[in-house]
Amino acid sequence: MNRSWSSLRARLVSTSTSTSHTSSRVRLSSVVFFASTGVLVSSYLLWPSKYRGSPTFTHKPMSPNYFIPATVSDISQTGPDLAVLTLTLPHDAHSTTDDASSLEPIWSIFVKDDDIQVERPYTPLHGVDENGNIKLWVKRYQRGEVGRWLHSKRTGDTVEIRGPLKTFPFHQGKWDEIVMISGGTGFSPFHQLLFRQLLPLQDKPVDDDTRFTLLHASRSPAELPPSPILQPLIDFAGAHPDHLRVRLFVDSDAQARVPESIARSLHVGRIDKCSIAHALGLSDGRCSWTSWINSFWTKGRSRGGDEDIRKKNILVLVCGPEPMVAAIAGPYGKNYSQGKVGGVLAELGFMAGQVWKL
């Protein structure tokens, strides 16, 4: 499960003043962008939804305004209380959905537990393919009604969904670097983004100069994203290190059984200030010299760690369990709005307009 959400002055006389004002304009533009978009997204997705209790139609395209049926066509257990469910839309639903297979990331759908009439948002791993399939990576939580309900489904069962609903306003080329920090199934929106923006270019030149970095945390290797989903990202990062880097974190490596290529990106420990600073090429006095030497990121290129992070065109996306989001980026605001930037990212100098909590 995952949540999602919020988003020039006159000519200058000297070069230094121009650079300073340009940086300020970029920051101001980002703040306005995030603030205005955040209000819209939050009010649409996170406040009580006017679409609860919406009717179900069987011969219409996908829409946020009503539910349509989808058939559970495959269930694959991927770890403890984790499964990938494939939902297949009726032909007349996906074939008439405007550009369903080319929807811009990042977007989600609502799934309704029709036993207790509760809906929850989930982010498809890929989107909608040409056959109308939607893949969801779902964790079963003890207190998660819809997650437990989905795990009880069998092949051939029907569930009701509505959407798509935009959960982050991604714009290609807007940022020089995008750092994605995820925990558990919070990986899904970032996979959707990378699947759309980078993976189709596996054997082609990458025109976009945006650099993506994925820091993902799981409790154990068994709870990492499934290998068929994760391996293409590892392969792309190996072939295009200037465009994608992947680092995986686990609390414990006990009984680790992962492919060697994935194991090379694996680190025992949690995503903390030190690991984020390394990913961004920033110096951090709290990181020991030994950790710098042993760090995975010492294999990457340096990117000017002395530069003020507030002047860099960097976006940090965070998605995962609430305690993790709060520790890294500060808690959500009221009604799961963006709230203030806090936690580790605030300590590193990030400000509103540079951080988005999904």
Q: What is the pLDDT of residue 307?
A: 56
What pLDDT band is residue 299 in, cutting at 50, 70 and 90? Answer: very low
Residue count of the chain, please give it.
Answer: 358
Helix (H) or strand (E) run with residue 1 in it: none
How large is the average pLDDT for residues 101-129? 89
pLDDT above 90 for 108 = yes
Average pLDDT over residues 328-339: 92
At 94, the pLDDT band (50, 70, 90 cuts) reads low
Average pLDDT for residues 199-228, to the nearest whole number? 87
Residue percentage of the chain with pLDDT more than 90: 54
What does the pLDDT read at residue 297? 41
Question: Minimum mean pLDDT among 27-36, 37-46, 129-138, 184-193: which range?
Answer: 37-46
- The 10s digit of each residue's pLDDT in 139-156 is 999 888 899 999 999 999
280: closest CA among 211, 338, 218?
211
CB 128 within 8 A of CB 119: no
The CATH architecture one would assign to domain 170-357 is: 3-Layer(aba) Sandwich (3.40)
Q: Residue 13: its pLDDT value, please? A: 34
Please, are residues 357 and 338 in contact by the beta-carbon 8 Å criterion?
yes
Q: Does 139 carry a binding-site annotation?
A: yes
The pLDDT of residue 117 is: 84
Give residue 205's pLDDT band: very low, low, confident or very high (50, 70, 90).
Answer: low
Q: Give residue 27's pLDDT.
A: 53
Amino acid at the residue 265? S
> Residue holding tokens 């919020």?
6
Give backbone dihedrals phi and psi of 113, rounded to 5 degrees, phi first: -80, 100
Residues of the chain with CATH 2.40.30.10: 68-166
Q: Does 64 have pLDDT greater than 80?
A: yes
Quick one: pLDDT at residue 20? 45
Question: What is the model's pLDDT at position 284?
Answer: 54
Give strand pairing partners of 135: 86
pLDDT of 280: 85
CB atoms within 10 A of CB 63: 16
CATH of domain 68-166: 2.40.30.10
Distance, in Å, from the CA atom of 275 to the CA atom of 249, rounded to the nearest integer, reads: 10
What pLDDT score was predicted for residue 172? 86
pLDDT greater than 60 at residue 290: no
Q: Is 81 exposed, middle or buried (0-12, 13-18, 19+ CB in 10 A)?
A: middle
Q: Model confidence over 2-41: pLDDT tens digits? A: 544 333 333 333 434 444 444 454 455 554 455 545 544 4
| 117-133 pLDDT tens trace | 899 999 999 999 989 99
pLDDT digits (tens, 9 = 90+) for 221-274: 999 999 999 999 999 999 999 999 999 999 987 656 788 888 889 999 999 999
Q: State how far the alpha carbon of 82 is from the alpha carbons of 127, 149, 222, 318, 335, in Å.
A: 19, 13, 10, 21, 27
Strand 82-88 with 133-139, pairing: antiparallel
Residue 51 clears pLDDT 80, i.e. is over it: no
Average pLDDT of the residues of the chain: 80
Percent of the chain residues topping a pLDDT of 70: 73
Cα dihedral 121/123/124/128 (nearest 10): 70
Measured CA to CA, the distance from residue 121 to residue 167 in angstroms comes to 10
